[in-house]
Structure 1
Amino acid sequence: MTDTIIKIDLNKSAYEHDNVHNRWHPDIPMVATVKPGDDFIVECFDWTGGQIENNDDASDVRDVDLTKVHFLSGPIAVEGAEPGDLLEVDILDIGAFAEQQWGFNGFFSKQNGGGFLDNHFPEAQKSIWDFNGIYTKSRHVPGVEFAGILHPGLIGCLPSRDMLDMWNTREKELFDTDPERTPQLACLPYAETAHMGRMKGDERNSAAAEGARTVPPREHGGNCDIKDLTRGAKVYFPVYVDGAGLSVGDLHFSQGDGEITFCGAIEMAGWIHMRVNLIKDGMAKYQIKNPIFKPSPMVPKYDDYLIFEGISVDENGKQHYLDTSIAYRQACLNAIKYLTQFGYSEAQGYAIIGCAPIQGHISGVVDIPNSCATLWLPTDIFEFDIQPNANGPVKHLDGSVDIPKAPDLK
């Protein structure tokens, strides 16, 4: 019987758990210890710590306190791990709690977090997705059902002191180039809502003032939101502190490449079953700076796609030079517009490409001035045919159902 080494209580605040933290800092105390070769289960809050409810009101997404996220379970010490090693993590299984068989997807208000398409969807919206075994569907997005690719959106090891200082310095320099920008350019340390695990008193306060926010991915892994880190995948993480300090959270039932709505996956609370091993001095042996991984042999099989292209010409017709982000944005917008021809609202189209197992590809970065990016939309997830044909599209949905919206408060 596999041990659950970190347990949580969904009826209590994440702040009441000393085996959870929401900042990165090398001095956060380890909450459990495992040996190379051990496998174990870790329970996790959803990334917001339970701020989002299963209802038809998007005001909780509008009002979410993003200074509190992400709540991570850990850190976990691995015996014998030293700086310069590689921590090998096998993701053996992932699941939602039996008492919470649902997840949520959200578009954040541009005034509070935003998202990849926040100029087009500037206000908060929320869809709820119910789980039925390996499948999910939403009362807010009819006509679509798909198998999940469950994965941790956020997983990584504690940074060293030098690495923490480097992160804070470079992100502050970026922030200072446009400190009034909305959304902001970087999420800087913020002590007031920091949860530093088992740290207490002055030590806690000092660390909270400099603890790195968990929002971006960094050299140690972190919030990479890679949908293919699913059950059966193997990840190799750089180790920067003694014991490694593995932490995990932000579990997703499903997600499209890019997690484009920011709260762009189907977010859930649940558990993850992992196994760890060490490769001594692996960072130098393999010249590894960022994590690498092997994908799972078990993923939902979709082999029929409509593929939407985008180039680095923006919505206003302005030419950009090899800008792959703009190219992918155009591919996303092209897919959304296409789906509206079958009766989906633009918001429903946005939710589909954020939640469903779409693929995003960089197709070309050398043919000046345009990059080319593509979005691969699996056609088998729909209950009706969305293929182009000579007769034209058929509107299968009447518009009576849409994704709840919460306008910004003035």
Structure 2
Amino acid sequence: MSYVVLHPGMGSISPGHYLPATPQTVLWGRLPCAADAAVLSIASGDVVTIDTLSHEGLLEDQGRDPLAFFGGHGVAAIDVLTDAVALAASDYPRDAEADGPHVVTGPIEVRGALPGDLLRMTLLEAAPRVPYGVISSRHGRGALPGEYPVGPGTVSVFTEVDTDPGYGTEAGALVGTLPLVPGGDRVVRFPLDPFLGIMGVGVAGDTRPHSVPPGAHGGNLDISLLTVGSALYLPVQVPGALAYVGDPHFAQGDGEVALTALEASLRVRIRFDVIPAEEAAALFGRLTGPLAETDEFLVPTGLDPDLDEAMRACVRAAIALLGARYGMDQTLAYAYLSAATDFNISQVVDRVTGVHARIRTADFGA
């Protein structure tokens, strides 16, 4: 396909704030805490264009050389992102054993945000920066850690992106393609719906959290509903919120069973809004963890290392949300959720598993 690779500063960038991904503006393997200095300061309501980097092709088990890694799959050097090359070649102090794999851009100070407030992060645009991505499976990880990969070493499946006018209902939609067997001509095509696996706020204290497990701060939620037009609400933990984004995906099935989904770099536009504590309480009650919202759904979450406990936490969060938002009796809310709401497994591969509910706002006349 004909495609423009979005190197730093290249391509169409909306007026206003632009935050590239450089060794000075990212954290690699850790998430921001109160001791971190913001790399950008904005006002509530501002929109920021942010370059994000996928970690695939940068990691040590892939050679920490994206030019060589992607070149081995036929990608020309000019089509390998220069910021990915620069980060991999830098002396960034990442401990491959102790730190996570993810590259996060930020933190961003949202002036006026205080603990008790909510930060709403609305994804306005998510543009693929390259026409390819990677799906990886690593030993000891994923939903079937004792069974896959079937051989030694990491399996990183290179995935091309193309347009397919005959696929689905949208002419020229972007699709991912995989062969049915290695080297084969027959392929499977699947739709792309880009989103950010990581959206979060800084935590209190002076210890940066590991980038893999999600929590009340958001982080590595991997909720595939968080595509363009959706919003994520997070309880602010530190003054200024210290927001960040990363772990860009082109596509993901709920569960993300192989450890990663289709990981690839995105350029995103996000609006950051501070919801004052009193207004937040009126809208959502006492929100202690991430809450997503789409045009169709309210999406409370449950997080726990035990998937059963994550499910229970999500149900409790959903009942509390219905009570706060609509004044619904808790027994009737429990019955409604059983009859009308889907509970989806967000992911089972990030140490802390995730469940999210899809509550149709139309059911309540909204």
TM-score tier (shorter): 0.5 to 0.7
Q: Is the 8 A contact 2:49 2:267 kept in 1?
A: yes
Task: Report the counterpart of residue 293 of structure 2 in structure 1.
Answer: 294
Q: Is the 8 A contact 1:238 1:283 kept in 2?
A: no
Cα distance 1:89–1:68, how it changes in 2: closer, same or farther (>3 A)?
Answer: closer
TM-superposed CA distance for 1:49, in Å, is 7.3
Task: Report the counterpart of residue 211 of structure 1 in structure 2.
Answer: 208
- Counterpart of 2:176, as a letter, is T
Q: Distance between the aligned counterparts of 2:307 and 2:218, measured in 1?
A: 24
- Counterpart of 1:86, as a letter, is L
Which of 266, 280, 283 does residue 270 from structure 1 map onto?
Answer: 266
Q: Distance between the aligned counterparts of 2:122 and 2:27, measured in 1?
A: 22
> In the TM superposition, what are the counterparts of 1:31-110 in structure 2 within 5 Å?
31-48=39-56, 50-51=58-59, 52=62, 53-54=69-70, 55=72, 65=96, 67-97=99-129, 100-110=130-140
Task: Report the counterpart of residue 156 of structure 1 in structure 2.
Answer: 200
Q: Distance between the aligned counterparts of 2:17 and 2:137, measured in 1?
A: 33
Task: Report the counterpart of residue 15 of structure 2 in structure 1.
Answer: 2
Alignment partner of 1:119 is 2:146: yes
3-state secondary structure, aligned to 2:261: strand
Task: Report the counterpart of residue 162 of structure 2 in structure 1.
Answer: 132
TM-superposed CA distance for 1:36, in Å, is 1.6
TM-superposed CA distance for 1:295, in Å, is 2.4
3-state secondary structure, aligned to 1:248: strand
> In the TM superposition, what are the counterparts of 1:157-176 in structure 2 within 5 Å?
157-161=201-205
The two structures have a TM-score, normalised by structure 2, of: 0.60
Q: Is the 8 A contact 1:89 1:236 kept in 2?
A: yes
Alignment partner of 1:143 is 2:187: yes
Q: Distance between the aligned counterparts of 2:96 and 2:73, measured in 1?
A: 19
- Counterpart of 1:242, as a letter, is P
Q: Distance between the aligned counterparts of 2:344 and 2:37, measured in 1?
A: 39
Q: Distance between the aligned counterparts of 2:343 and 2:262, measured in 1?
A: 17
> In the TM superposition, what are the counterparts of 1:332-351 in structure 2 within 5 Å?
none
Q: Distance between the aligned counterparts of 1:297 and 1:41, measured in 2?
A: 25
Cα distance 1:92–1:68, how it changes in 2: closer, same or farther (>3 A)?
Answer: same
Q: Distance between the aligned counterparts of 1:125 and 1:30, measured in 2?
A: 36
TM-superposed CA distance for 1:143, in Å, is 2.9
TM-superposed CA distance for 1:323, in Å, is 7.5
Q: Distance between the aligned counterparts of 2:224 and 2:215, measured in 1?
A: 17
TM-superposed CA distance for 1:160, in Å, is 1.1
Cα distance 1:105–1:323, how it changes in 2: closer, same or farther (>3 A)?
Answer: closer
- Counterpart of 2:161, as a letter, is F
Cα distance 1:68–1:234, how it changes in 2: closer, same or farther (>3 A)?
Answer: closer
Q: Deviations over 1:359-403 (max 9, x none)?
A: 9847xxxxxxxxxx9xxxxxxxxxxxxxxxxxxxxxxxxxxxxxx
Q: Distance between the aligned counterparts of 1:30 and 1:36, measured in 2?
A: 15
After superposing on structure 2, the runs of 4+ consecutive aligned residues of structure 1 that deviate more than 4 Å are 139-142, 282-285, 322-325, 359-362
Which stretch of structure 1 is more off in the superposition, 267-276 or 289-298? Answer: 289-298
Larger radius of gyration: 1
Q: Distance between the aligned counterparts of 1:49 and 1:323, measured in 2?
A: 30
Task: Report the counterpart of residue 335 of structure 2 in structure 1.
Answer: none
What RMSD over aligned residues (CA atoms) do the two structures have, in Å?
3.0
Q: Is the 8 A contact 2:180 2:187 kept in 1?
A: no
3-state secondary structure, aligned to 2:136: strand
Q: Distance between the aligned counterparts of 2:161 and 2:268, measured in 1?
A: 17
Task: Report the counterpart of residue 176 of structure 1 in structure 2.
Answer: none
Q: Is the 8 A contact 2:102 2:246 kept in 1?
A: yes
Q: Give the unaligned 5+ runs of structure 2.
A: 1-13, 63-68, 75-94, 164-173, 298-305, 310-341, 346-354, 356-366
Cα distance 1:50–1:269, how it changes in 2: closer, same or farther (>3 A)?
Answer: farther
Percent sequence identity is 26
- Counterpart of 2:264, as a letter, is M
Task: Report the counterpart of residue 330 of structure 1 in structure 2.
Answer: none
